[in-house]
Copies of this chain bind each other. A is one copy, B any other.
Amino acid sequence: MGAAILPDLGTEILIPVCAVIGIAFALFQWLLVSKVKLSAVRDASPNAAAKNGYNDYLIEEEEGINDHNVVVKCAEIQNAISEGATSFLFTEYKYVGIFMVAFAILIFLFLGSVEGFSTSPQACSYDKTKTCKPALATAIFSTVSFLLGGVTSLVSGFLGMKIATYANARTTLEARKGVGKAFITAFRSGAVMGFLLAANGLLVLYIAINLFKIYYGDDWGGLFEAITGYGLGGSSMALFGRVGGGIYTKAADVGADLVGKVERNIPEDDPRNPAVIADNVGDNVGDIAGMGSDLFGSYAESSCAALVVASISSFGLNHELTAMLYPLIVSSVGILVCLLTTLFATDFFEIKAVKEIEPALKKQLVISTVLMTIGVAVVSFVALPTSFTIFNFGVQKDVKSWQLFLCVAVGLWAGLIIGFVTEYYTSNAYSPVQDVADSCRTGAATNVIFGLALGYKSVIIPIFAIAISIFVSFTFAAMYGIAVAALGMLSTIATGLAIDAYGPISDNAGGIAEMAGMSHRIRERTDALDAAGNTTAAIGKGFAIGSAALVSLALFGAFVSRASITTVDVLTPKVFIGLIVGAMLPYWFSAMTMKSVGSAALKMVEEVRRQFNTIPGLMEGTAKPDYATCVKISTDASIKEMIPPGALVMLTPLVVGILFGVETLSGVLAGSLVSGVQIAISASNTGGAWDNAKKYIEAGASEHARSLGPKGSDCHKAAVIGDTIGDPLKDTSGPSLNILIKLMAVESLVFAPFFATHGGLLFKIF
């Protein structure tokens, strides 16, 4: 067995230090972005000629546009978007607050009632001979960790929105100096979001563990059972972020497009459109706050799932702190690796031309994965005893440290493969999207059929990648292996988020350029950044879905252990009906979220029409539209429409657990996982492909593309129909499915003791 090379003290320093480094690096990036002044005065001071050429030649001077006026307008629009974003978030936080309190009480009551709120020590569930802290303690501490997870996710989401709405106008201004400058500003801002989230998530979890240890002392099983609330808190926020945010994004987008582009024939991002600010806010709400909360949820859950299983394995039983905190050490090293990787994009190399953007982003993926593989090897060598045992459904399983390294590595590389396959099927640099664009020749119908078929086909390799990583990690280290494989996929979360957040910032930058009446050449640069952003958004979603699948399986395993079931036999009626109903839930959920977008969009369409019909001079541009009301309507509608799908997710585990019991609930979790992951991947890729097929035709960068164009041609109209259909698939119902499969799993884990004792009422009656 032997002890880990890294002493406990080393661990207790390494983790917080890495977290703090991450936060510092984020703030430093924010500082660099802030150097882009949102004022017209040219910075004549000597040090202004910084290496990055903040004094380069401006497009405006070429085109003789009044520089001062343009910058003031940019600042105004940015302010409006920032206010819109804040008003959305604060309205959402009101509802989140109510939900958090209600759900916290529910957790406390359910878990407290497991032993009738007794305060006397109880026999540990995993080992009857030992005494553990009373169920009441688990209830209290689970509730506390639930609130902690929720608040940390909210704070990270808020900061992410702040930096995004701080950087968008600055990216526009930098675009005047060239696409490279704009890219660095957008990418640095994305990095702020990524590092803040990763570092916050790690730091708060680490602090919570240490605080809980004061009470729990050596009862690590109880401690880490209570910690699981942290994952539930994170995922609950993702419900608001992904589902609520996803509906908001599309309601604003459809509201703006249907009335603006279709009825009033004014271009996208035209300042006269009352919904334009809500639309730009939407880009941030969906892809920044939504994606951030989603990945935070996965990150928190995979850490908690690993810690729970570790606490009842040899690490926990022998109180080996370093080995116990192996998941956190992996994440800590992940922050350092991502920091190094980011420098490649912002400092070591500089982007000169548009066609270098996508390769630069892809390099980020490869570099971070390669470096991280080395990092994980080092961590596995120093932080783990050469061999140890892992709890495996009632029995301890022998595992070697190199095996655990392989578990993390296989998750990491599966993430990369999913990223590249997603890119292949959504980027218009490759044939699948070009074929979809070509199918527009025979109209919208063939475009839709080809798009759906592409989405289905894009599922094949990612599923094999997930299956292989499951098989390797499951075989080597049972549920612990799965949890650390998920963690491996998420270990480069900072870079993943930076790449992902960079897209909406560029999208906004383009919108601001349009609204501020800047030269159309600026818009071309930001559009190029945005197109690359589309692909990276799809890659980010690939990561999110891949890690959601692994995390759900890890949580599912942890749930089964906690509910003390040893086998989940498909050939029993209770499990099979769970499996087939579970496989149906993603369809029910998708039907709800798609309808929610429809209803919320309708309210926006009515408001935008009302303003156009009632505000005199709006079309002529002499009067200003009432942006704030549109933001409010879209916010209220999205939160109201979020309730039915949200209820389906939150109530299913409770209803199934209580009425049918833990076997059926296991079937439901397994069924919804294997079915949900397919729809999530295909919906996101289909939507991404349609979006980029339209952009392919609009950009007309190749002979083939020009033969399908230009903008307004029949082919283009067919492509726009595909894009409009794809929007809710890729921004709302597809990504929200991650939440369905994760949140049901983590909720089942937290309530497992309750279901095990009181569940299955129906079968007890009949």
Contact = CB atoms under 8 A, between A and B. Distances in A.
A392 B544 CA distance: 42
B475 A573 contact: yes
Contacts of A456: 587-588, 590-591, 594
A573 B476 CA distance: 10
B453 A573 contact: no
A565 to B, nearest CB: 8
Contacts of A452: 594, 725
Interface in A428-469: 439, 442-446, 448-450, 452-454, 456-457, 459-460, 463-464, 466-468
12 contacts: A445-B720, A453-B598, A471-B573, A475-B573, A553-B576, A567-B569, A567-B571, A570-B667, A580-B673, A582-B674, A583-B583, A587-B678
A444 B442 contact: no
A188 B300 CA distance: 65
A262 to B, nearest CB: 7
A659 interface: no
Contacts of A594: 449, 452-453, 456
A560 B464 CA distance: 24
A751 interface: no
A581 B464 contact: yes
A152 interface: no
Interface in A654-672: 666-667, 670-671
B567 A449 contact: no
Contact of A474 (B467, B573, B584): B573
B598 A450 contact: yes
Interface in A728-743: 728
B671 A674 contact: yes
Nearest to A670: B570
A595 interface: yes
Given A456-B591, A576-B670, A583-B583, 7 more contacts: A453-B595, A474-B572, A549-B580, A568-B569, A570-B670, A580-B674, A583-B674
Interface in A552-604: 553, 557, 560, 567-577, 579-584, 587-588, 590-591, 594-595, 597-598
Contact of A463 (B463, B581, B666, B667): B581
Interface of A: 258, 262, 393, 439, 442-446, 448-450, 452-454, 456-457, 459-460, 463-464, 466-468, 470-471, 474-475, 549, 553, 557, 560, 567-577, 579-584, 587-588, 590-591, 594-595, 597-598, 605, 666-667, 670-671, 673-675, 677-678, 682, 720-721, 724-725, 728
B674 A445 contact: no
Given A460-B588, A675-B678, A576 B449 contact: no
A591 B449 CA distance: 9
Contacts of A569: 567-570
A395 to B, nearest CB: 13
In the A-B complex, list the 5 residue pairs whose CB atoms are closest, starting with the nearest: A445-B724, A456-B591, A474-B573, A583-B674, A457-B591
Contact of A583 (B587, B605, B675, B725): B675
A577 to B, nearest CB: 4
Given A459-B587, A573-B475, A587-B459, A579 B670 contact: yes
Q: Chain B CB within 10 Å — which of A453, A575, A725 has the most? A: A453
A663 to B, nearest CB: 11
Given A588-B460, A598-B446, A474 B576 contact: yes
Contact of A590 (B453, B567, B577): B453
A721 B580 CA distance: 32
B674 A573 contact: no
A677 B580 contact: yes
Nearest to A474: B573
Contacts of A598: 439, 446, 449-450, 453
Contacts of A467: 577, 580-581
B460 A587 contact: yes
Contact of A579 (B446, B584, B674): B674
A678 B457 contact: no
B470 A573 contact: yes
A339 to B, nearest CB: 34
A444 to B, nearest CB: 5
A464 B581 CA distance: 7
Contacts of A475: 573
A571 B464 CA distance: 18
A756 to B, nearest CB: 16
A725 B587 contact: no
B576 A470 contact: yes
Contacts of A573: 470-471, 474-475
Contacts of A553: 576
A656 to B, nearest CB: 12
A470 B577 contact: yes
Contacts of A583: 463, 583, 674-675, 677-678
A260 to B, nearest CB: 13
A557 B576 CA distance: 12
B393 A666 contact: no
Contacts of A471: 573-574, 577
Contacts of A468: 577
A321 B570 CA distance: 32
Nearest to A570: B568
A587 B682 contact: yes
Contacts of A442: 258, 262, 605
Nearest to A561: B571
A443 B257 CA distance: 12
Contact of A571 (B549, B568, B605): B568
A560 B568 contact: no
Nearest to A464: B581
Contacts of A670: 570, 576, 579
A265 to B, nearest CB: 14
A725 B448 contact: yes
A580 B584 CA distance: 15
B571 A557 contact: yes
A569 B673 CA distance: 16
A439 B605 CA distance: 14
A598 to B, nearest CB: 6
Contacts of A591: 453-454, 456-457
Contact of A721 (B445, B457, B595): B445
A471 B659 CA distance: 15
Contacts of A597: 449
